[in-house]
Structure 1
């Protein structure tokens, strides 16, 4: 179900991982990465979309895209900002319950810091909230379940092939004619009467374009691929960086349930196993202008009994070195909880390039975190860490004796002999990883020198070829990309219908 990718080894982040490499899971299944993500439904800031429009992408302002968010959504929570949500779409949005032992203390602590409780997909973007999940009772509601399952057996014009691997877009001159793919060890060619649409995600779509001859000239020449259309494919990649070794211990003890007991709760639609990866609450803050402006940091809580990774999870999921992962042996899953710090508006730019011209060879994913020339990214994350640590001084945290116990293995000498900033910079480089939100590798824009597709997601200087996935996002959004991808797909569906006179 997963491609099993790893990012390129780094000297500035993922230092606690084997070979200094972040694991980088990508969905290899119907529904893509929505099958394995944390199910967070988050649209980001309205101003993100207004920036798209002001940058020359006509039709993508928040006012223009909001109807497409609403169209696909079926919200099932009691309190939300009316006018911002849909109630009749195929994609369910819900809370999970019951709350953990530390949920309300986290809310109160954030309120003491000046944050208010909000619907983060409504009129306010700064504040604290429960996570809005794409969940249907106790089942993940991803793109395959919500959009494909209801029509897969009744649409005569839809055929789904499983275990089929696309290896090339077939181009005749500047026109996309079809796709070559492999299935059951045989090569096939499928011709397009109208268009070819790539929706392979921010990593695989650029790889497929480049092996087909669409991409940066120097990259294609390097692998002896004929250049058919020189475009900045794979460039401008941005991703949200996450630091997750901020662990608190409280005097609130979660019920010590067996796996069987938790599964019985899950069957009833109850937490903790309905919380994907254990997450429960979120807060969006601005570290520079508290209480106003746009969020630059997201805080995500992971409460007991799933609130801390164990050694095995840290090795298998995050690729932590076995020595570094020993830090997780000291945490107690019944009393300890984590608060993740996520960088929402990074300045660092990564890339997707080719390992070879063979489409079977994995692409090269260079995350390039903390590479911005002014160190704004790591400093912003440091300010986010300080904000989290300051929660321990609130009355709400003191009432439950929530004490910071996070151990930053490999940085102890700096704690003794360096500054606080040096210590946390070391910790951030050691334990920060991806939250798996790559975007902008085939980004939208007017200029073929700076972008890959136009405002209708048509590839520049190529006929009958579109890209419709997170890669087309012009610049990284301040939020999780899953909901915006659904919105993009809804909007481009209408563009296609309009073009062919069906709408």
Structure 2
């Protein structure tokens, strides 16, 4: 089962080669620059799931996120409750390592990028000039800037398959059936889950469970499977002739972050031509060079003036910086650049996932529903983030090295004055990206919560012996990226199940 050494940036190749994601429903006010006004949501269809194709950013979120999670009637899910699981699973080798918050003996390797360009140093020095503190954002405090942390080992992508499966192939109680598609959960007349039905190589199979059936299909596929199994809003299931066994609000709220990648600073440094042979050799022999880079070099968090949260240290915008190579047409030279992406951490608007058909091989209908908040807070917050990012161009270090905002207009917005609020609104609507980090579609909550699908022990309401162990159970916005919470839920969920059956 041992998998090959994979360059960390290989996800760019995987995207174009494989059928790997879902499309959102057609939109009016966002994804306007995408084909058919539909955004692509990447979902990894491989051993290791989306950890094989994602940007590898390891950003747990804010401690307040988890405290809010617990406060909503979910005991055992506060930051102090889940912190031991984050520490248990991590093998972190990062700058400004925190003994109190990070681990060194786990299965999931976390490192900083092995490849830096002068642009990284320019951004760090500019941040210092702007009074932004240097931090380890996974050490309990997010307000500041720090080197990005990613799932790498010696410069190579470290997927969940590498972390948990490579050395488990000899286990007698582990059977992996690749190229299989689960069609539904099998539930008996007593509303007890006893297995799943799946298709493999054109043949239909069933596998039965002695104890629990555990769904870990992710924020898009878990609600689809629940609905196909008769667990979901009764009125929606009736449309497809599916008997409702448990009338739960499956599929909503869909929580997925908004990313705007449309800011870039270009410096006056001319880059030498790309040397692919050298880059490959450096990667294979030393674990260094551009093939070891991941999606960002630096991550910083801000609280914009739009936020009305009582805690001044609770950010609402994340900025990620990545070095780029930009071809300047007038000189035919490649210039050093820094690309900035804005992530809206806690949007006011949320979406939904619904069945498109009773055919389990059909994708679900996905509507992230961005920018539908009544007070326009989501757009205003992103605009505030654009203005924060632009402050870097006014620093001494950026001016010294010619760091200027790329003024090449988005084609569809060329009729608007560049750098006006109207221009940036247009650019955001054109270029917005749905981060592939869905949550909330099988929401955790007490039985009194009308939107709850699972309880705090991950058990599906109304169905015996069925649990959900993935990001779909998360009931709150996580102020970060969703890979780290997914690992934590897996570790904690394993303990919950083990304790339940051991006690019995």
Q: What is the TM-score when the length of structure 1 is the normalising length? A: 0.91
Aligned counterpart, 1:409: 411
Q: Shift in Å at residue 164 of structure 1? A: 0.9
Residues 24 and 328 (structure 1 numbering): CA distance in 2 closer, same or farther, change over 3 Å?
Answer: farther
Residues 293 and 41 (structure 1 numbering): CA distance in 2 closer, same or farther, change over 3 Å?
Answer: same
SS class of match (2:318)? strand
Aligned counterpart, 1:433: 433
2:334 and 2:111 map into 1 onto residues whose CA distance is: 26
Contact between 1:81 and 1:123, CA under 8 Å: does it hold in 2? no
2:69 and 2:410 map into 1 onto residues whose CA distance is: 39
Residues 1:164 and 2:165 are matched in the alignment: no
Contact between 1:2 and 1:25, CA under 8 Å: does it hold in 2? no
Aligned counterpart, 1:313: none
Counterparts of residues 181-260 of structure 1 (less than 5 Å): 181-260=198-277
Q: Shift in Å at residue 247 of structure 1? A: 1.5
2:240 and 2:277 map into 1 onto residues whose CA distance is: 53
2:442 and 2:107 map into 1 onto residues whose CA distance is: 28
Contact between 1:101 and 1:254, CA under 8 Å: does it hold in 2? no
Residues 4 and 21 (structure 1 numbering): CA distance in 2 closer, same or farther, change over 3 Å?
Answer: same
Residues 55 and 144 (structure 1 numbering): CA distance in 2 closer, same or farther, change over 3 Å?
Answer: same
1:210 and 1:328 map into 2 onto residues whose CA distance is: 52
Q: Shift in Å at residue 6 of structure 1? A: 1.1
My pick for the range that moved more, 419-428 or 186-195, is 419-428
Q: Shift in Å at residue 446 of structure 1? A: 0.8
Residues 108 and 188 (structure 1 numbering): CA distance in 2 closer, same or farther, change over 3 Å?
Answer: same
Aligned counterpart, 2:400: 399
1:352 and 1:197 map into 2 onto residues whose CA distance is: 20
Q: Shift in Å at residue 435 of structure 1? A: 2.0
SS class of match (2:360)? coil
Residues 398 and 502 (structure 1 numbering): CA distance in 2 closer, same or farther, change over 3 Å?
Answer: farther
2:422 and 2:129 map into 1 onto residues whose CA distance is: 28
Contact between 1:47 and 1:62, CA under 8 Å: does it hold in 2? yes
Which one of the candidate residues 135, 140, 144 is aligned to 2:161?
Answer: 144
Q: What is the TM-score when the length of structure 2 is the normalising length? A: 0.91
Gaps of 5+ in 1: 311-326
Q: Deviations over 1:70-126 (max 9, x none)?
A: 000111235312211111111111112242120011012122222111000003111
Aligned counterpart, 2:136: 119
My pick for the range that moved more, 97-106 or 177-186, is 97-106
Aligned counterpart, 1:276: 294
Aligned counterpart, 2:338: 337
Residues 1:304 and 2:324 are matched in the alignment: yes
Contact between 1:100 and 1:304, CA under 8 Å: does it hold in 2? no
Aligned counterpart, 2:385: 384
2:201 and 2:324 map into 1 onto residues whose CA distance is: 45
Aligned counterpart, 1:71: 88
Q: Shift in Å at residue 2 of structure 1? A: 4.4
Q: Shift in Å at residue 292 of structure 1? A: 3.9
Contact between 1:101 and 1:253, CA under 8 Å: does it hold in 2? no
Residues 328 and 5 (structure 1 numbering): CA distance in 2 closer, same or farther, change over 3 Å?
Answer: farther
Contact between 2:114 and 2:155, CA under 8 Å: does it hold in 1? no
SS class of match (2:251)? coil
Higher strand share: 2
Contact between 1:109 and 1:394, CA under 8 Å: does it hold in 2? yes
Q: Shift in Å at residue 222 of structure 1? A: 1.6
Aligned pair count reads 480
